[in-house]
Structure 1
């Protein structure tokens, strides 16, 4: 196997994409792929995906990005909900109030803030903190 990266082609109609025998993406070549390379089609969306003979597995890069976006959006929902609960305390009933007490929403905010790299289950969306109901 050559270490000369000049053989790697980034794009082109003739580029063929390859994985190793463990399914790890090796790259795309127009000619002379590495020894033992296995041709796959299509190429992965993310380089960290594993070819699962056939088809690409999930990407941790994509999963982390999606969960980070969810966390940021959920923190906005939580802030709005806490504001709405303050309005309820002041005697107003906002139309968009969600179920749950202030204490439940504060606990949810803590769990949501901690939903990041290092949290148990992260980035599997099944492990996301659940809103109060």
Structure 2
């Protein structure tokens, strides 16, 4: 017998992880760093061919840090997200090769950088 895995529960269980009181409770799933709504696209033959083309075009180097990446470490990033414009999802000019670290940065902070870049570099309105 062991103790229930629920935080601070004193009940013991013979089988499984949780006692009867906490059987339906589970730890919340971690939020994915990437958009997973396009799995059908990423499993298609067309995507795999375009992904291979981008990898060969960039000679296997991350376009942000220059590190050589291969296999599943080589991640292809959409500059314009698929949700914003589906017509660009297989366009090679919309794709860039990134290492996992840089891909995470682009996914989570890329939009903010673009927003602030446009905000700070706008020409001030002319006064009459």
Q: TM class by shorter-chain length?
A: under 0.3
Higher relative contact order (CA 8 A, sep 6+): 2
TM-score normalised per structure 2: 0.22
How does the TM-score come out when normalised to structure 1?
A: 0.22
